Amino acid sequence: METIRPLYPMALTLTLMAGALASEISLPLRARHRALDTQPARPAIPIGQPFIVKPPLGLPPVPAPKDNPLTRETVFLGRKLFFDKVLSRDNTVSCASCHDPRHAFADPKPVSGGVNGKKGNRNAPALLNIAYSGILFWDGRAPNLEAQAGGPVENPLEMAHSLVGVERKLAASPVYVDLFAKAWGPGAITWEMAAKSIASYQRTLVSGNSRFDRYYYGGDKMAMTPSAIRGLKLYLNPSLKAANCVSCHRIDVKSSTFTEDRFHNTGAAWDPVKKTLLDLGRSLIQPGPKMAGAFRSMTLRNIARSAPYMHDGAIKTLEESIDFYFDGGRPNTNISVDMPDPGLPDIPKAEQAQAKKDLVEFMKMLDGDLPPDAVPPDWKPPQP
């Protein structure tokens, strides 16, 4: 069934057209051309010099899509866009506002602030090693980094902008006109180019060579503390009556991302008083009882730097997180079958206090190196 557009009086139509034209004339020529352009957008294919990311110890090769290979020019442009507040409607919020490099590119606040002081409803997760994730956001609604980039821009609680509006702002900047021409060739700036540039930059944010990596993959048996080594043994126990961390945060033979592209209901969204889910999680995207209250397994690399934890940032410390899993999460109808049994009966009660300390110590061994040139030389951390 077709939707019929309302017919407006001719005088009103002419007034709207005149106002729109006047607003376009106030923009530079390239910005006006982009806004009025009715031709199909040209393919966004990088034209610059190849950029090779050498994976550090413990990480696999960095994947990149065929239509967006990494180049020096797109990575440089993407980094500039990531730290520039130009992407927000009122020039007050950048990607780095919610993904702070000092905190593994996560937000130390439970939920992030957007334009006009608005608050989001989920925690901003760490972006280090995000290149290895096949799906993005807590509920997996974006299939890749290119698709993810537009979400915060258009979210009214975050940047509250439009993709066309961003295109116009970028086209009005001589600096960005030059950078886009070097990265993508001359012509109109499109959001696809911006999204691909930001995605390319994010794929360079690889962090490995942790003390765990040097111990497990590098053969340096002195790299981890005795407590962390005990914690690793607990971590690797796949029994549901034990910690069973490895079932969802994988350690593989040659490399480890400490994550997986599956969704689990741990009970983090369950309100035991109201006996209801406060966030439906993956089921908003993939309906079904198993996905109700389920969220993506985030990486544990650099976990000590990226507090608070869970989709809502409700768990403040690693110690609280370990306690949560020792309790078996919050029992509910749809809790994941991979959650450990409450109380972890395979670990004797008298040994559990030390076991918790050992697991926390192991988690601290997962802090890796920050990649070079991840932060612009002129970047200043936001004031608290």
pLDDT tens per residue across span 203-259: 999 999 999 999 999 999 999 999 999 999 999 999 999 988 999 999 999 999 999
User: What whole-number distance in Å separates Cα of residue 192 and Cα of residue 245?
Assistant: 38
| pLDDT, tens digit (0-9, with 9 covering 90-100), for 175-199 | 999 999 999 999 999 999 999 999 9
Q: How far apart are CA 160 and CA 154, in angstroms?
A: 5
User: Which range among 3-7, 30-34, 79-83 shows the weakest confidence by mean pLDDT?
Assistant: 3-7
The number of C-alpha atoms within 13 Å of 247 and in the hemisphere containing its C-beta is 15
Q: What angle do CA 44, 206, 365 make, to 5 degrees?
A: 160
- Orientation of helix 72-83 relative to helix 174-184, angle to 10°: 150
Q: Are 199 and 48 in contact (CB under 8 A)?
A: no
As a whole number, the mean pLDDT across the chain is: 90
CB 62 within 8 A of CB 131: yes
| pTM, to two decimals | 0.88
Helix, strand counts (H, E) of the chain: 13, 4
- When mean pLDDT is compared across 29-43, 111-125, 175-189, 272-286, the lowest value belongs to 29-43
Going along the chain from its start, the domains and CATH numbers come out as 30-202 (1.10.760.10), 211-364 (1.10.760.10)
Of the two residues 240 and 6, the one the predictor is more confident about is 240
Q: For the purposes of burial, counting CB atoms within 10 Å of the CB of 33, is it exposed (0-12), middle (13-18) or buried (19 or more)?
A: middle
Note the pLDDT tens digit of each residue in 103-161. Answer: 999 999 999 999 999 999 999 999 999 999 999 999 999 999 999 999 999 999 999 99
